[in-house]
Amino acid sequence: MDLFEFFKENESKLHERPSEQAWERLEKRLERRRKRRQRTIRFLQLGAVVAALVLLLLAAGLVWYFVKNSPS
Amino acid sequence: MTEQTLIERLKEQDRAAQKWLYDRYSPVMFAVCRRYLSSREDAEEALVSGFYKVFAQIHTFLGNGSFEGWVRRIMANEALMLLRKAHPLVFPGDYFQPADTEDGFSIEADISAREILDLLAQLPPGYRTVFNLYVLEGFKHQEIADMLGISINTSKSQLILAKEKMRTLLKAKGIV
């Protein structure tokens, strides 16, 4: 076989398990990312609630203003 | 688990599916990283970062090609990034286009994993990178040129030079 075939044929010999700590490190990074995403989602949810409350108060204020100042 | 089910579960960031994929692919992907990086620790770091990207960017896999090929490309890129961080890649001898001569060179020897890694480690990083990408990952010269920011001719010349060097190394080791 030629040089390229020789390396391709033998490539599977290089397959080897990484250490146990590799998965643990990866899992820690994934967990940090999950928590970051959760915090972002909670922050956005809170923002949406605050925005809705502000809009509600604004609408209520406008209604109150127009009712109070209506000519009748 | 079918590949489609696996990808759906990965998109939901299902930890059991992530572990399943890691257990199944880590030996192959670790080998990919080890071929570029001579230190085992660096290869493991590239593997961890590579899998993290696979899981974080799973939604960008559109199913156009092979899933394993997509993962392999991420690993190769991650290993290359780490390699470049340690030493900027230089491509010696890219100013000329050597002729690729076939001299009836044939190998039928049995070789161990350690010997393969030793041989690859003896290639200069530029030769080794192109050799890995072309011969073992199956990338085309155009793709290699894009990945490394070099010209197609540089990729071709590096491969020919890597081949020459590898033949010399194999002869010196008495493998051929």
Six-digit token string for B2: 């079918």
**pLDDT at residue number A33:** 93
d(C-alpha B28, C-alpha B31), whole Å: 5
* Residue B57 shares a structural domain with residue B79: yes
A65 CA to centre of own chain: 41
* Residue B65 shares a structural domain with residue B97: no
**pLDDT at residue number B1:** 78
Closest C-alpha to B127, from B36, B30, B31, B34: B36
Q: Which of B70, B86, B102 is the last residue of a domain?
A: B86
Which residue, among A8, A16, A17, would best test binding to B if mutated, counting the most B CBs under 10 Å from its CB?
A16
Our CA-based measurement puts residue A40 at a distance from the nearest CA of chain B, in whole angstroms, of 16
d(C-alpha B147, C-alpha B139), whole Å: 10
- Residue B140's domain spans which residues? 89-176
**B44/A8 touch (CB, cutoff 8 Å), yes or no:** no
The fraction of chain B above a pLDDT of 70, given in percent, is 93
pLDDT tens for each residue of B12-24: 999 999 999 999 9
* Residue B94 shares a structural domain with residue B70: no
* Contacting residues of A for B111, CB less than 8 Å apart: 6, 10, 13
pLDDT tens for each residue of B61-97: 998 889 999 999 999 999 999 998 877 777 776 666 6
* Residue B99 shares a structural domain with residue B163: yes
**pLDDT at residue number A70:** 83
* Contacting residues of A for B55, CB less than 8 Å apart: 30
**pLDDT at residue number B101:** 61
* Contacting residues of A for B22, CB less than 8 Å apart: 23, 26
Q: Mean pLDDT, to the nearest integer, of B136-144?
A: 92
* Contacting residues of B for A14, CB less than 8 Å apart: 31, 34-35, 113, 116-117
**pLDDT at residue number B42:** 93
* Residue B155 shares a structural domain with residue B108: yes
Q: Mean pLDDT, to the nearest integer, of B148-166?
A: 91
Q: Which of B86, B103, B131 is the last residue of a domain?
A: B86
* Long-range own/partner contacts, residues B103-109 (CB < 8 A, 24 or more apart): B105/A2, B105/A3, B105/B167, B105/B176, B106/A1, B106/A2, B106/B176, B107/A1, B107/A2, B107/A3, B107/A6, B107/B170, B107/B175, B107/B176, B108/A1, B109/B175, B109/B176
| Nearest-10 Cα torsion for A30, A36, A39, A41 | -80
pLDDT tens for each residue of A30-71: 999 999 999 999 999 999 999 999 999 999 999 999 998 887
User: SS3 string of A6-66?
Assistant: HHHHHHHHHCCCCCHHHHHHHHHHHHHHHHHHHHHHHHHHHHHHHHHHHHHHHHHHHHHHH
* Residue B52 shares a structural domain with residue B35: yes
Q: What is the DSSP secondary structure assignment for residue B137, as one 8-state letter?
A: S
**pLDDT at residue number B17:** 96
**B112/A6 touch (CB, cutoff 8 Å), yes or no:** no
- Domain positions in chain A are 3-69
Total-model pTM: 0.79
Better-predicted residue by pLDDT, A13 or A31: A31
Label residue B107 by pLDDT band (50, 70, 90).
confident
Q: Which of B55, B86, B117 is the last residue of a domain?
A: B86
Position B32: which residue type? V
**pLDDT at residue number B96:** 62
**A6/B30 touch (CB, cutoff 8 Å), yes or no:** no
**A15/B30 touch (CB, cutoff 8 Å), yes or no:** yes
* Residue B70 shares a structural domain with residue B141: no
Total domains present in chain B? 2
* Residue B71 shares a structural domain with residue B93: no
Which residue, among B11, B48, B134, B160, would best test binding to A if mutated, counting the most A CBs under 10 Å from its CB?
B48
* Residue B173 shares a structural domain with residue B93: yes
Label residue B100 by pLDDT band (50, 70, 90).
low
* Residue B94 shares a structural domain with residue B81: no
Select the highest-mean-pLDDT range: A51-55, B114-118, B128-132, B168-172: A51-55
Residue B167 has its nearest CB partner, among A3, A19, A26, at: A3
Residue B69's Cβ-side half-sphere holds a number of Cα atoms within 13 Å equal to: 7
What CATH number is given to the structural domain containing B38? Answer: 1.10.1740.10
Better-predicted residue by pLDDT, B48 or B101: B48
**pLDDT at residue number B146:** 92
Average pLDDT, chain B: 88
What CATH number is given to the structural domain containing B131? Answer: 1.10.10.10
* Residue B60 shares a structural domain with residue B109: no
**pLDDT at residue number B113:** 83
**pLDDT at residue number B103:** 59
Cβ–Cβ pairs < 8 A, chains A and B: 77
